[in-house]
Amino acid sequence: MTSRMKFLVTGLFLASLCGAWTPPAAAAPWTRGFVVSSYEYAFRYGGRKDYFREGEIEPGVDCPHGSSVHFSNDDLVKIAVARQKWRTEQEIEHIARPPGLETVKTPNLTRFWIWDRALSYRGWRKGIETYVNPFAADDPGQPQVVSRIGDGFNLDGKIGADDFVSPDGEKGIDNALYRAWGCDAPWRGDGNATLHLRANDKMQEGLYTMVIRVSGSKDPMNDDDVTVEIGYSPDHIVKDARGGVAPDYSYRIVKTEQYTKLKGRVRGGVVETEQVDELHMPRISWFYNQTGDANFRKGKIRLAIGANGQASGLIGGYRNWRDLYVENTFAQDGGQQGIREHEDAVSLYYALSRNADGLPDAKTGQNMGISTTYRIKAMPAYVVDPDKPAQVVVLTEEESRKKAFTAISEAFRTATTTRVVQDVPPGTTEAAVPALERTIVDLPSKEFFLATLDRPHYDVEPEY
């Protein structure tokens, strides 16, 4: 099928040759489908589009204190490791500026893995792995959003003193994740934030596919009773000759997991759904081990359908902030993520905890949810029910990484719930194991680092 099916109608509008008009036939069932082409946190960017200074992101009105710069040079690394009073002056200096680095074949990579190993052990005593047990380290501080303008929904039906105001003037907008993480370097930019770009690139290249289907029985632009389905598709996104997401291709929808059906209405081409207890769909990911269900509590969707058949909108609700932590931190390992992206998962942990604004724990009263909004763009597509049952694609060769991701995520949850320090489970690459051992073989000071720096130990050690 090559023509675009924007919606299905059975009535015809007829006009006579002399210009007389016949009233339209009765409304009929209609369906519109979409494949998501862009999927990211709904963070705003308060900087100037014309700003450019080598190596910098303009602070902007929402982040006047700038974006995160953790571990971006040896002086900042030295400050980070010097917070542990049990480290010696020699150790601190050697970590920041490894002796003999200029003699090795890969100085930048060698320093990268030394920093990773050292930053992975910043607890109040030796032997505490940082990213599984972030509460055991001091809060390094995270620059936070101070703007009053934010995208999202009024999820709790209240207008609080700390709530955002939407760009069109709606008060009471709940998007605490933007306040907590909106100044984090890899999530900040004007369409060019590194993790936004990476996640969208991996999604479009086949890591996963998300589809939306809207159906009703009246006017597709104005219908007070529509059904909205959102979920995972096992079919790869089809691209056009220029690398963009191509319109009008068919995608199957999986209904057994990462799927939600909601009721809603359409007014002037804008779809607004009800608020549901749980809204399930694929999560933002850039590695297979991260993929899975993004469970929004008290979630809802708003989707504006353009004249060209494309759609854009917001998905909001409360997400468990510990899930957001592990999805970001353990994509590879905490130290690697931090050094490469100039973010510190410890500071992100504390920012999430203090900004959490929903889903209080029945026993402790601690808020376990943080109001969150995702921004999407979508191309018109045919979203179809499969002839045979379809499931989420399993990559057998990647399942070991996914198992390790699940194990370290559970260790983190146990640690932060019980406040009992947990070890790093086997199978992960946390604390640069075995990357450090493989990289520093030609470093003159390698014995110092191997003897001095902490690391996880396992019954079966990985091969170096």
* Average pLDDT estimate for 7-32: 49
* Average pLDDT estimate for 163-184: 95
**pLDDT confidence of 389, banded at 50, 70, 90?**
confident
- Check whether 50 has a pLDDT greater than 80: no
**pLDDT confidence of 66, banded at 50, 70, 90?**
confident
- Check whether 14 has a pLDDT greater than 70: no
Residue 120 has what pLDDT?
A: 97
Residue 3 has what pLDDT?
A: 36
- Check whether 185 has a pLDDT greater than 60: yes
* Average pLDDT estimate for 205-222: 96
Whether 198 contacts 286, CB under 8 Å:
yes
Residue 1 has what pLDDT?
A: 41
**pLDDT confidence of 16, banded at 50, 70, 90?**
very low
Residue 209 has what pLDDT?
A: 98
- Check whether 124 has a pLDDT greater than 90: yes
Residue 9 has what pLDDT?
A: 34
Residue 53 has what pLDDT?
A: 54
**pLDDT confidence of 245, banded at 50, 70, 90?**
very high
Residue 414 has what pLDDT?
A: 97
SS3 per-residue string spanning the chain:
CCCCCCCCCCCCCCECCCCCECCCCCCCCEEEEEEEEEEEECCCCCCCCCCCCCCCCCCCCCCCCCCCCCCCCHHHHHHHHHCCCCCCHHHHHHHHCCCCHHHCCCHHHHHHHHHHHHHCCCCCCCCCCCCCCHHHCCCCCCCCCCCCECCCECCCCCCCCCCEECCCCCCCEECHHHHHHCCCHHHCCCCCCHHHHHHHHHHHCCCCEEEEEEEECCECCEEEEEEEEEEEECCCCCECCCCCECCCCEEECCCCCCEEEEEEEEECCEEEECCEEEEEEECCCCCHHHCCEEEEEEEEEEEEECCCCCEEEEEEEEEEHHHHHHHHHCCCCHHHHHHHHCCCHHHHHHHHHHHCCEEECCCCCCEEEEEEEEEEEEEEEEEECCCCCCCCCCCHHHHHHHHHHHHHHHHHHHHHHHCCCCCCCCCCCHHHCCHHHHHHHHCCCHHHHHHHCCCCCCCCCCCC
- Check whether 4 has a pLDDT greater than 60: no
* Average pLDDT estimate for 189-211: 92
**pLDDT confidence of 44, banded at 50, 70, 90?**
confident
* Average pLDDT estimate for 373-397: 95
**pLDDT confidence of 10, banded at 50, 70, 90?**
very low
358 φ, ψ to 5°?
-160, 175
* Average pLDDT estimate for 49-71: 71
Residue scoring higher pLDDT (53 or 418): 418
Residue 319 has what pLDDT?
A: 98
Residue 464 has what pLDDT?
A: 66
Q: What residues have CB less than 8 Å from 378, skipping those under 6 apart?
A: 34, 35, 36, 37, 212, 303, 310, 311, 312
**pLDDT confidence of 47, banded at 50, 70, 90?**
low
Whether 366 contacts 202, CB under 8 Å:
no
**pLDDT confidence of 8, banded at 50, 70, 90?**
very low
Residue 63 has what pLDDT?
A: 87
Sole residue written with tokens 């101070």: 146
Burial of residue 371 (CB within 10 Å: 0-12, 13-18, 19+) is buried
* Average pLDDT estimate for 183-195: 86
Residue 54 has what pLDDT?
A: 53
% of the chain residues with pLDDT over 90: 83
Sole residue written with tokens 């002796």: 99
